[in-house]
């Protein structure tokens, strides 16, 4: 390992620790700290980070682990029940959020395709921020957590479908009939993956359940193996990792695996979001700062209102609907991921890609502050933890 690589990793994590401390003091998400660190390094000493391939590939692995762990939290049976409850508000809100961003950018003078892709990227809410700012009792057993996960799942499925289409359209050998065949083959592939878990992975894990290191290794091997298989079949690493996670979600050890793999995911995600900050072109900031700020304000103002209206329409209380709206009132890490892939395929201009990423960062800043200030979060010691069942006992469909 070269000295440059060692120094790069050192600077990333030492810098991240300082910026994270500041982020927590100002009631911000840690993702914000990592992105700002990347922007800051551009001003100080960008030449020190010549090992760009390591940073890029490490970030990609972080996204693979993110989707693998997301799937690992989704028991297939509970997944169907949760999606039924929020399908209508999830679909309607996604259409409205896309339309809002698209119209804003068109009115600001940006091209049709740029505006359409930017709108598609900005319709998502952050899975990481949304779930990390939920207290453990609300995340694991609470009605708020249940509804949020359902909404985020719908958006995650849209994001995965979007990533798949962008990846396929960017393929020089793109064949629409091949893509259609792949879509039709999805149920077969999913069945075979689940069958492999039932016949091989589950018996092995049950037999050696006491050897925690073995469970850790098998889980990683399974996640990366299915991700690589999906890429070889013409899909993407992200889709394969997500399917691999879901296939293990009904196992008794899924909770242990989730907790064990989270530090590994976080390690690579620090590098990913740092790399995002490094890719934001600081020379363009003066050109995109105003529209990015205005678009962020529009999203932060309208997302909670739209969520509130949609959830009240399906019978939820006003206070519950407001909380869901504020907790999901930001853009997403998928906004950045979709934009980066679209930019790599040259579907979106560098200017608009940077505008989307800066808009996302601004929504992270404001949304995190509002949630921490007004709602219960793991790090908020100023508010008492109210019994969630008592608070929302009358909130039913």
**pLDDT tens readout for residues 26-39:** 877 777 888 888 88
For residue 72, give every residue at least 6 positions away whose Cβ sits within 8 Å of its Cβ, in sequence order, or none: 245, 246, 248, 249, 254, 257, 258, 261
25 within a domain of the structure (yes/no): no
Return the number of other C-beta atoms located less than 10 Å from residue 1's C-beta: 8
Angle subtended at Cα 341 by Cα 336 and Cα 345, rounded to the nearest 5 degrees: 145
Assign residue 292 the CATH number of its domain. 1.20.1530.20
* Token pair in block for residue 105: 């950018």
3-state helix, strand, coil in the chain (%, to 5): 80, 0, 20
Angle subtended at Cα 240 by Cα 235 and Cα 243, rounded to the nearest 5 degrees: 130
162 within a domain of the structure (yes/no): yes
What pLDDT is recorded for position 296? Answer: 95
Identify the residue with better confidence: 206 or 252: 206
Q: How many CA atoms lie within 13 A of 291 on its CB side?
A: 24
For residue 107, give every residue at least 6 positions away whose Cβ sits within 8 Å of its Cβ, in sequence order, or none: none
Residue 96 has pLDDT above 90, yes or no: yes
262 within a domain of the structure (yes/no): yes
188 within a domain of the structure (yes/no): yes
Least confident span in 80-84, 194-198, 285-289: 80-84
Domain residues for 155?
55-377
For residue 204, give every residue at least 6 positions away whose Cβ sits within 8 Å of its Cβ, in sequence order, or none: 218
231 within a domain of the structure (yes/no): yes
Residue 383 has pLDDT above 60, yes or no: no
What pLDDT is recorded for position 99? Answer: 96
Residue 305 has pLDDT above 90, yes or no: yes
Identify the residue with better confidence: 17 or 272: 17
187 within a domain of the structure (yes/no): yes
Closest CA to 243 of 172, 192, 314: 192
Rounded Cα–Cα distance for residues 367 and 181 (Å)? 41
Identify the residue with better confidence: 173 or 383: 173
Rounded Cα–Cα distance for residues 85 and 91 (Å)? 12
How much is the pTM? 0.75
What pLDDT is recorded for position 136? Answer: 62
For the chain, what is the domain count? 1
**pLDDT tens readout for residues 136-152:** 655 544 677 778 878 88
* Token pair in block for residue 128: 């990481």
**pLDDT tens readout for residues 141-199:** 467 777 887 888 788 778 877 877 777 666 666 666 666 766 677 778 888 888 898 88
What pLDDT is recorded for position 279? Answer: 72
Least confident span in 120-129, 244-253, 291-300, 351-360: 244-253
Closest CA to 265 of 71, 19, 59: 59
173 within a domain of the structure (yes/no): yes
Rounded Cα–Cα distance for residues 327 and 132 (Å)? 10
Residue with tokens 């996670």: 245
- Specify whether the CB–CB gap between 358 and 364 falls below 8 A: no
Segment 283-291 mean pLDDT: 88
- Specify whether the CB–CB gap between 32 and 365 falls below 8 A: yes
Residue 392 has pLDDT above 70, yes or no: no
End-to-end CA distance of the chain: 57
Residue with tokens 């068109």: 106
Identify the residue with better confidence: 86 or 380: 86
What pLDDT is recorded for position 389? Answer: 38
**pLDDT tens readout for residues 199-224:** 888 888 888 888 888 988 999 999 99
What pLDDT is recorded for position 182? Answer: 67
Rounded Cα–Cα distance for residues 157 and 86 (Å)? 13
Least confident span in 41-50, 158-167, 263-272: 41-50
Residue 118 has pLDDT above 90, yes or no: yes
Rounded Cα–Cα distance for residues 390 and 243 (Å)? 36
Rounded Cα–Cα distance for residues 272 and 60 (Å)? 7
17 within a domain of the structure (yes/no): no
């Amino acid at each position: 390992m070269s000295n440059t690589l060692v120094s790069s990793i050192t600077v990333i994590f030492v810098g991240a620790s300082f910026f994270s401390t500041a982020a927590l003091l100002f009631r911000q998400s840690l993702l914000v700290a990592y992105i700002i660190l990347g922007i800051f390094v551009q001003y100080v000493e960008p030449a020190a980070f010549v090992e760009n391939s390591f940073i890029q590939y490490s970030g990609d692995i972080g996204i693979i682990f993110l989707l693998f762990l997301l799937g690992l939290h989704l028991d297939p049976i509970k997944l169907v029940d949760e999606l039924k409850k929020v399908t209508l508000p999830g679909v309607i809100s996604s259409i409205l959020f896309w339309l809002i961003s698209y119209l804003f950018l068109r009115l600001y003078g940006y091209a049709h395709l740029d505006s359409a892709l930017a709108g598609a990227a900005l319709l998502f809410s952050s899975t990481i921020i949304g779930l990390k700012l939920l207290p453990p009792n609300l995340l694991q057993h609470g009605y708020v957590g249940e509804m949020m996960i359902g909404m985020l799942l719908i958006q995650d499925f849209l994001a995965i479908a979007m990533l798949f289409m962008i990846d396929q359209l960017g393929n020089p050998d793109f064949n629409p009939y091949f893509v259609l065949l792949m879509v039709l083959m999805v149920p077969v592939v999913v069945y075979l993956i689940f069958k492999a878990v039932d016949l091989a992975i589950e018996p092995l894990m049950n037999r050696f359940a006491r050897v925690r290191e073995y469970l850790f290794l098998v889980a990683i091997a399974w996640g990366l193996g299915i991700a690589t298989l999906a890429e070889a079949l013409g899909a993407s690493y992200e889709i394969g990792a997500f399917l691999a996670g879901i296939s293990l979600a009904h196992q008794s050890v899924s909770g242990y695996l989730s907790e064990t793999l989270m530090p590994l995911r976080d390690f690579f995600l620090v590098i990913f979001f740092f790399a995002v900050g490094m890719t934001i072109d600081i020379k363009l900031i003066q050109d995109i700062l105003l529209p990015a700020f205005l678009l962020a304000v529009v999203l932060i103002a309208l997302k909670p209102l739209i969520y509130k209206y949609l959830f009240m329409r399906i019978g939820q209380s006003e206070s519950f609907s407001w909380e869901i709206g504020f907790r999901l009132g930001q853009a997403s890490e998928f906004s950045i991921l979709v934009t980066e892939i679209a930019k790599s395929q040259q579907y979106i201009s560098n200017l608009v890609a940077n505008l989307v990423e800066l808009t996302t960062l601004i929504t992270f800043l404001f949304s995190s502050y509002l949630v921490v200030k007004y709602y219960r979060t793991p790090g908020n010691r100023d508010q008492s933890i109210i019994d969630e069942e008592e608070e929302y006992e009358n909130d039913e469909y």
